[in-house]
Amino acid sequence: WLAREAAARAREMLLLPVLAVRLFISVAPTGMLWVRKLCQLVLFSVLLLPGFLQVVAWYFLSPAVVRSVRYGRHQRNMLDLYLPQGARAIELRQVGPRAAAEVVAVEDAGEARPRPLVVFCPGGVWMIGYKAWGALLARTLMQAGFVVACVDYRNYPLGTVSQMEEDVTQAVRWVLDNADELGADRARISLVGQSAGAHLSALSLF
């Protein structure tokens, strides 16, 4: 009797390790696949890192980028301006901390012909969009002679989709109101969006 009881207790003690081993064996192929995919993702990120750091450094250090220009009264009503080489120098005037900025042209360098204008609305599932995400696109367009504005808007839960659309519309209106001072051609404006930003851009057209 004691021998049978000891054997039963031993089987109970070994049950959990045995089940764990069986579970590991059953999911090992899938688990190893995920490990391999994770390693590939890490390697891909490491390879992209030098280029990413170059864009980040350019975004914060380039005099061609005018960051966080206020276009409305809400906290996230900001946009970044990208001014191409030879564009006129500008100054920003702001009456209060939540007042929209006013653009004042102080110098007209290079060609006098107004530049085409692009307003970019970044995506981010309506929750995590940020204006700096458009830096690489804006840099490419700026080098081609475009004036570019990358827009921030209220994200959920700070705002509803209707309020996000209001922000995008207000940003476009601000850019148009200041187009002359920016040296931009209001007749050649393009509204560009990515993912959720494309949705909000489309809504702002109606």
Residues 6+ apart with CB under 8 A from 130: 122, 124, 152
Please report, in tens digits, the pLDDT of each residue of the chain (206 residues total): 556 666 666 666 666 677 667 766 666 656 567 677 778 888 988 898 888 889 889 999 988 899 999 999 998 999 999 998 777 677 788 777 777 887 876 565 555 678 999 999 999 899 988 999 999 999 999 999 999 999 999 999 889 999 999 999 999 999 999 998 888 898 999 999 999 999 999 999 87
Cβ atoms of residues 169 and 206 within 8 Å: no
* Domain parsing of the chain, residue ranges: 1-52, 62-204
**Would the pTM count as exceeding 0.85?**
no
What three-state secondary structure class fits 141? helix
CATH fold for the domain made of 62-204 = Rossmann fold (3.40.50)
User: Which stretches of 62-159 are DSSP H helices?
Assistant: 135-143
Q: Cα separation of 157 and 147, whole Å? A: 31
- The pLDDT value recorded for residue 180 is 87
